[in-house]
Chain A
Amino acid sequence: MDESWRKAKAVFATLSAPPVIWLVVFFLAPLAIIWGYSFGNNKSLTEIAVDGTFANYVHAIKPLYMGIIFKSFWFALITTALCLVVGFPVAIAITFASQRSKAWLLLLIMLPFWTNLLIRTYALMAVLRTEGYINLTLAFFYNGLSRLTALTGHPLAMFQPLELLHNNFAVVFGLVYVQLPFMVLPLYAALDRLDRSLLEASLDLGAGHLTTFARVVIPLAVPGIISGVLVTLIPSVGAYLTPDLLGGPSSQMIANVIERQFKTANDWPFGAALSFLLMYMTFLAIAVQTILSRGRRGRREA
């Protein structure tokens, strides 16, 4: 392991050239161009001059766009919190299951994540729309109730379907649906490494299950919680499809605004600036996570 590259230059060159060239030309270069554009302005319909202006970033911090960025974060935070609350008991159930059921439960949680994101979002549209399954079920029970009250001579008013689709509720509902497996897996990975004798000790010494959970399990699962939060939060902030298909006019998130700058509004420099704001926020989140997990490790060693 760790042979110096000087010892086998030909092998080193053969191994490194294709991936490095690919990464530079087809990944870093496109990102660098966008980064350059974020400091440019539209000269004409097709020409963009990169002249080092900060005008696009100034435009991006106007209240309208800051509001959308704030809303994207807000949605992502609610989604992450809900995924954590919904996913934690699931991760516990998987951790303490027998080997056989563990494999099946993991597969059950992973399977939707192999299914196309667009199809999963579409499936939710059929559930949530005014003629969807939720409203249909509600109408069924409501009409049953109405028939009962009609016997007493007071029929209820006509059933009004709930507006579940094309609003902020639908966006968060959809984000939780899509991101839940991402939260469960790191939580499970952390809980599975946990020393069970600590839990047994806590229970033996008279703490109840809830106390043990709050004072032993959660503190020990913090690394898993941090990585689960990160892998749920980052894709949620930049989600495009969910707000586009499930959201209404007021639930636009930052990705939808970026898309519009590139496809219809044709203001590439501004779209580029917004993209890079989103990238910077992503890097910031990763940096915070690295610092948090490093701090924990440092404390434990001390």
Chain B
Amino acid sequence: MTDTPGPLEYLRRWPIRAWLAVVILYLYAPLVTLMAFSFNASKRNIVWRGFTLDWYRAAFADQDLIVAFGNSLTIALISTVVSVVLGALTALLLWRFRFPAKALLEGALGLPIVVPEICMGVAMLVFFTEVIPWPTSLAWPLNLGAIIISHISFSFSFVAIVIRGCLASFNRELEEAAKDLGAGEWRIFWDVLVPHMQPGLIAGALLAFTLSLDDFVITFFTSGPDTTTFPVKVYSMVRFSVTPEVNAASTILIVLTVALTAFALKISGGTVVAVEAGEGL
């Protein structure tokens, strides 16, 4: 085995390598230039004129942007907690019980994953203006209720799938053993099932958090003038023009998501990648 690649070592063949390099350039060059130009001294965003942090100063001084950022994090946090609880209950239900209409429930749970975002967005808009008009005069963070509820509705099915996958590997004998040793339902749940579900709970939480932080379309239909989120605020800035300040704000969000992902990968030992790869199916 010297320099000639084996018959199936396609990664060592130059046409495949060149193709891979071009694709990775295509995926990353726009993002990397966006981040680089957030440090550019020129406002024109095309020619490099030297390093500056002015755009970050401008972004941090922009009160609306800071409020929107705070809203996004709060929404993501609350939505994640509720989605994980609902998702865990759903997963346990489907894993443990046989009941009439089980297939129907499974189908209904798949809906939030397949329904086009725009359809869910307009449905939520109508629901929160006609059926439950959400008062936007409520104190923060209650005024974000409509957005939080919508985010939970599209996140918890994803969380349920992740946790259900984790439960599939559970050895029922552990439960039997706990029962024989006198543990009640609650004790078994808390001391046996939850520890087993832990990687799924973490992966599900990360998924719910990023889904919420990422969402633009559904939030766009449920947010009001006083309840903007970070993506909605950036959208209104982008509509005006391409400015280095938007680059700075975007860079902060990119760094935040990458850091979160790295953190989740570290604590879950790579299961998140496997789970999210599965999500694409």
Distance A89 CA – B19 CA, assembled complex (angstroms)? 7
Number of interchain pairs (Cβ within 8 Å): 261
B118 pairs with A278, CB closer than 8 A: yes
Taking the complex as formed, is A20 at the interface, i.e. its CB lies under 8 A from any CB of chain B?
yes
Residues of B within 8 A of A124 (CB): 30
Rounded to whole angstroms, the CA-CA distance of A282 and B270 in the bound complex is: 32
- Tell yes or no: A73 within 8 A of B by CB: no
Q: Is the CB of A235 within 8 A of B46?
A: no
Binding site for B on A (CB under 8 A): 1-5, 8, 11-12, 14-16, 18-20, 22-23, 26-31, 33-34, 37, 86, 89-90, 92-93, 95-98, 101, 103, 105-112, 114-120, 122-127, 129, 131-133, 136, 177, 180-182, 185-186, 188-189, 196, 199-200, 203, 227, 231, 234-235, 237-238, 240-241, 245, 255, 258-259, 262, 268, 271-272, 275-276, 278-279, 282-283, 286
Closest CB of chain B to A160's CB: distance in Å? 17
Query: Which residue in A15, A132, A186, A237 is a CB contact (below 8 Å) of B280?
Result: A186
Q: Are B99 and A31 in contact (CB under 8 A)?
A: no
Q: Are A112 and B257 in contact (CB under 8 A)?
A: no
Could you list some 6 contacts between A and B, CB below 8 A? A15-B93, A23-B108, A34-B122, A105-B20, A123-B33, A126-B37
CB distance A241 to B93 under 8 Å?
no
Cross-chain contact A112 with B31 (CB below 8 angstroms)? yes
Known: A1-B172, A112-B31, A123-B34. A185 touches B118 (CB 8 A): no
A23-B108, A115-B31, A231-B281 given as contacts; is B217 within 8 A of A241 (CB)? yes
Q: Which 5 A-B pairs have the closest CB atoms?
A: A238-B116, A30-B127, A123-B30, A30-B123, A185-B280
Provide the main secondary structure of the chain B interface: helix
Chain B interface, number of residues (Cβ within 8 angstroms):
89
* A279 adjacent to B33 (CB under 8 Å): no
Complex: A188 Cα to B9 Cα, angstroms: 15
- Answer whether residue B126 sits at the interface, using C-beta atoms and an 8 A cutoff: yes
Within 8 A of A (CB), among B171-217: 172, 185, 210, 213-214, 216-217
